[in-house]
Structure 1
Amino acid sequence: MKAISSLPLIGTVRRDGIAYRTADPVPIDVVSGLIRESWCSRLVVTDAAAGGESPAEFTAMCVVDGQPFVLVGRIGRRTD
């Protein structure tokens, strides 16, 4: 599979084991919009842990150029 470095709506991603991880936190409105994208399906969102021990995250099954992959990332404000 050709390496992916950027995705629409999401921006920069990097390979993290067998998945791709977002470089920056993704706003919740962007995460909720992923399910409407033709290249993304099966979106799962987890809540942040109490006390901020772990942030809210999402996992999505995606297909780009015919190649399936998993996309994971933190939910929050962008830091740019």
Structure 2
Amino acid sequence: MNTHKQVPGLGIARLDGGGLAYRLADPLTIDAVGGLARQSWCHRLEVCDASSDGRRPAQFRAICELNGEPFVLIGRIGEGA
């Protein structure tokens, strides 16, 4: 398994510490996250709101497939790219 993956339009995602998903380093805007749902390579998208106390940022988790290889993409939602 590669330790990084080029994600179209989003840049490079690196394998997270647990080795179960690829994580984007920079947060995405809510519009960019919404755009994931329209991509043919993104099959499922889950969004989690930030905690009210600010300890947990808004996040997303997407089940994706590129070039026949399925993977999980995770990241934060905020003032990113």
The runs of at least 4 aligned residues of structure 1 exceeding 2 Å deviation read 1-6
**Cα-Cα RMSD:** 1.5
Q: Given the two structures, how large is their TM-score scaled by the length of structure 2?
A: 0.87
Matches within 5 A, 1:1-80: 1-2=1-2, 4-16=4-16, 17-78=19-80
Q: Given the two structures, how large is their TM-score scaled by the length of structure 1?
A: 0.88
Partner Cα distance (1:66, 1:2) in 2: 14
Q: How many residues are aligned here?
A: 79
Change (3 A) 1:39 1:22: same
Partner Cα distance (1:71, 1:26) in 2: 12
Cα-to-partner distance string for 1:16-57 (whole Å, 9 max, x where unaligned): 111000110011000001011011111000000012100000
Gap regions ≥5 residues in structure 1: none
Change (3 A) 1:21 1:59: same
Conserved? CA contact 1:47–1:55, under 8 Å: yes
Conserved? CA contact 1:41–1:62, under 8 Å: yes
